Amino acid sequence: MSESDAASNREREDATTPETASEDVSAEDAAAARALRSRQRRVKSTLLLAAVLFNAVILASWTQTWLSISLVGVGPHSGALDVVGSVAAPALSALALAGLALVAALAIAGPVFRVILGSLEAVIGACVAYSAIAVLISPAAAGGAAVTEATGVAGSQSTIDLVQATSLTAWPIVTVILGVLLALAGIATVLTHRVWPGPSKKYQTVRFEQTDTAPTADPVGAWDDLSRGDDPTR
């Protein structure tokens, strides 16, 4: 083997030193850690954005027409009434606003509060679905307030007797689906809360440390030094 070949072999051996191997492992660990943090952020942001979207659409459905009621042709009570979600399911607005506030709290909550807030989110979704299901089961009873306002007749059974036919729109079914999805998002929050990244450490308490300063000179002693002809600034 020539001297040049031996030198090239020594250079290749030197290139694969333990230090170089440790650097490669450290780079791989750093890349894996970055990928893990990216997945954690995606899980958190996906669940939060989904909850915001579900609550926003629920709040929008509260203003839409849910059903149309045809009244019996008895004097001035004949005709059809359009019943909006605020009349058929009045609790939806409060539930949707509570859900939006809950999402804001989830964004900065720690692991323990994520479990509590995720459970509350699931309960809110279940309540939303129940409110819409009640309209689907008994649309005449859901429109009782609208019948009372139009006819002046009060009482649940009395208003139901005035209803000849009902026609539902798609909004009650859409709201049931949104409530189920919101409940599932809350359950997913509880199940994945450990992999969420922690809250930002940008705003932490600033600690001020006291530094020792040199004692000031005694002014009386300085005047005494001057009177003796000494320079007190030395």
User: Which structural domain range is residue 185 located in?
Assistant: 29-196
Per-residue pLDDT at 210 exceeds 80: no
Question: Residue 203 domain-assigned?
Answer: no
Q: What is the pLDDT of residue 208?
A: 46
Question: Residue 106 domain-assigned?
Answer: yes
Question: Residue 233 domain-assigned?
Answer: no
Spatial separation of the C-alpha atoms in residues 105 and 110, rounded to whole Å: 10
Segment 101-113 shows an average pLDDT of: 91
Residue type, 10: R
Contact yes or no for 79/71 (Cβ under 8 A) = yes
| Percent of the chain surpassing pLDDT 70 | 66
- What CATH number corresponds to the domain at position 56? 1.20.140
The pair of structure tokens assigned to 93 is 């607005």
Question: Residue 230 domain-assigned?
Answer: no
Question: Residue 125 domain-assigned?
Answer: yes
Question: Residue 22 domain-assigned?
Answer: no
Segment 174-194 shows an average pLDDT of: 93
Q: What is the pLDDT of residue 121?
A: 95
**pTM, to two decimals:** 0.69
Q: What is the pLDDT of residue 96?
A: 95
Segment 147-152 shows an average pLDDT of: 80
Question: Residue 112 domain-assigned?
Answer: yes
Q: Considering its fold, how many domains does the chain have in total?
A: 1
User: pLDDT band at residue 64, thresholds of 50, 70 and 90?
Assistant: very high
C-alpha distance from residue 8 to each of 5, 13, 16, 17, 137 (Å): 5, 9, 13, 15, 85
Least trusted range by pLDDT, from 9-18, 59-68, 168-177, 219-228: 9-18
